[in-house]
Amino acid sequence: MLDIKFIRENKDIVAAGAKKKRIEVDLDRLVELDDKRRELQASIDGKRAEQNNASIAITGEKDPAKKKEIIARMQELKETLRLEEESMQELLKEWRSLMVQVPNVPDISVPEGESDADNKEVRQWGDIPKFDFPVKSHSELLLMHDMADYERGAKVAGFRGYFLKNDGARLSWALERFVIERFMNRDGFTPMIVPSLVRREPFVGTGYLPQSEEDLYKTQDGDYLAGTAEVAAMGYHMDETLEKKDLPLKFFAFSPCFRREAGSHGKDTKGIFRIHEFLKFEQVVLCEANHEESVKYHEELTANAEALLQELKLPYHVVINCGADLGLGQVKKYDIEAWMPSEEKYRETHSSSYFHDFQTRRLNIRYRDGETLRYVHSLNNTALATPRIVTQIVENYQNKDGSITVPEVLRGYVGKDTIGKSN
């Protein structure tokens, strides 16, 4: 959430940012409501002060007639104040509703664009494999080697349900162990297993609500199932004041994740690339309220994710997301996409974002900087999402006879060099 003072003083900048993100919000109405809020608050404060003065006057008044007159005025004042406070509550409902719809202002380096098709490539790594045989999709390869079962997955869990089995399960577990070992003691990251079932407040705080409610699973009790460990990790210090000396705080957070994929009807219906239930390790950072610090950690988190792909020897590229492909709170975002041979294009494996104080204002996470309280800056980036990355591994490492070479860094965990027998 942006500061209302910033919105009022920089309405043109905020409006331009919303336009770049293709997000509609009525800033004129928000400022109009804020004017009324300020005026009404001043009136309420004046009447409360008048009440206090009248109470003091009654206590010191000796004349019964004058005391009765003051009490009568107080009764009128009390009723007027009650009506104004009720008006304030009604006004604040609309004011707060508009405030949480105002998007963060994207960085100047964010390109214009209408969709993810307009994201701009920043760099590439690795050589795209050239096969001298017809390439099989991950869906075919997993079935061929009895690594997955989609039919029984759909029978048990519905559309996009799946079972991973045999070497499919081993490969997924190997990836988890691999990423845990790489991150457990890296650069002061605190490892955490975080809740998947989360109250509404952290979702609103991180910006997933109210805009993305259709993509979330909601329980009967009003809680939600998280689609990323970021939500719970960001809620960890909600309503707390930190000390500057303790920053940055870095979390390596894990949770099962759930997404309805509401806007993806007809996309990636085969295999395990786009599914409703998966596992995710997330990097989350809280740092000082400084743009240069945010940029520094953004590049660091992105480099961490790239290093993992490099160790897996998966060819990838990094793109900077255009305005329309940014979320409500993101200032800047990189997507890291690994090569998918069956589709002859890159597909997303990691997403790296920074938010300035957009999330922490909503979550009320501050730090003490001398005599001043400031809102920390927040960042996040995927460390690993599985089983999605299994799709790129099996496709890039497939052989002519249909076997799959296990990436070197995973062989100790999988217990073999090749999945499927070579001729």
Is 274 a catalytic site residue?
yes
Taking every pair of Cα atoms in the chain, the longest distance, rounded to a whole number of angstroms, is: 110
Which one is catalytic: 22, 274, 368, 411?
274
Per-residue buried b or exposed e for 9-42, using 16+ beta carbons within 10 Å of the residue's own CB: eeeeebbebbebbbbebebeebeebbeebeebee
Question: Catalytic residue at 366?
Answer: no
State the alpha helices, DSSP H only, in 217-352.
230-235, 291-312
Structure tokens at 356: 């300035």
- Bridge-based pairing of strands 197-198 and 224-225 is antiparallel
Catalytic: which of 351, 353, 378, 403? 351
- Rounded to whole angstroms, the Cα distance separating 17 from 323 reads 8
272 in Cβ contact with 143 (< 8 Å)? no
Task: Report the length, in residues, of the chain.
Answer: 423
Distance in angstroms (rounded) separating the CA atoms of residues 57 and 19: 56
Give which of 57, 74, 75, 3 is closest to 34, Cα–Cα: 3
Task: Catalytic residue, from 160, 170, 182, 259: name it.
Answer: 259
| 12 close to 107: Cβ distance less than 8 angstroms | no
Nearest 10 degrees: Cα torsion 222, 226, 229, 231: -50
**Is residue 43 flagged as an active site residue?**
no
Residues 6 or more apart whose Cβ sits within 8 Å of residue 305: 283, 336, 349, 350, 352, 381, 382, 383
Annotation marks residue 351 as catalytic? yes
Q: Which of 212, 353, 388, 395 is catalytic?
A: 388
DSSP run (H or E) holding 390: helix 388-396
Q: Is 255 a catalytic residue?
A: no
Q: Do 137 and 158 meet the contact criterion of CB atoms below 8 Å apart?
A: no
What are the backbone angles phi and psi of residue 16, rounded to the nearest 5°? -65, -40
Q: Which residues are catalytic?
A: 259, 274, 348, 351, 388
